[in-house]
A = this chain, B = another copy of it.
Amino acid sequence: MTKFDAQWVVGFVDGEGCFYVGVNRNPKLRFGYQIQAEFVVVQHIRDIQVLEGLRHQFGCGQVVVNHGDRYAWRVRDLQHLIEIIIPFFEKHQFHTKKKIEFQRFRNICLKMNDGLHLTEEGFKEIAALAKSLRFK
């Protein structure tokens, strides 16, 4: 399988990647909401082999249907985000404003890793940071 050059990956993700933090209603959880950090790269099904290659090279995430004929390599596991994805993009920096979204995403993931979202105050703080993740 092709091994992608680290700089190719950064260029591709500068264009096609997204960092999200979703705050979704879930009455079963302590504060009634679930916070879900995720990194996704979306492609048309014709390039699913690139998504599979990235999943294989990074050793984390899944390739899943996104919308219709579009697929995503998606990493949701917080440990994989903290130990694999975030260090990679710290080492190999973005050139677009994705750099700012990444820094915000990294900040949220580190706070979640410290368990901040398990206190009410911390939960509110993370939910507010998640809302302002996107670069305007």
CB distance from A63 to the nearest CB of B (A): 15
Q: CB of A15 within 8 A of chain B?
A: yes
How many of chain A's residues have a CB under 8 angstroms from any CB in B?
A: 23
A5-B16 Cα distance, complex, nearest whole Å: 18
Counting chain B CB atoms within 10 Å of each CB, the highest count among A5, A11, A53 belongs to: A11
Contact present for A135 and B15 (CB under 8 Å)? no
- Contact present for B2 and A95 (CB under 8 Å): yes
Taking CB atoms, residues of chain B closer than 8 Å to A2 are: 95
Task: Give Cα A7–Cα B14 distance, bound, in whole angstroms.
Answer: 12
A12 in contact (CB, < 8 A): yes
Nearest-CB residue, chain B, relative to A13: B11
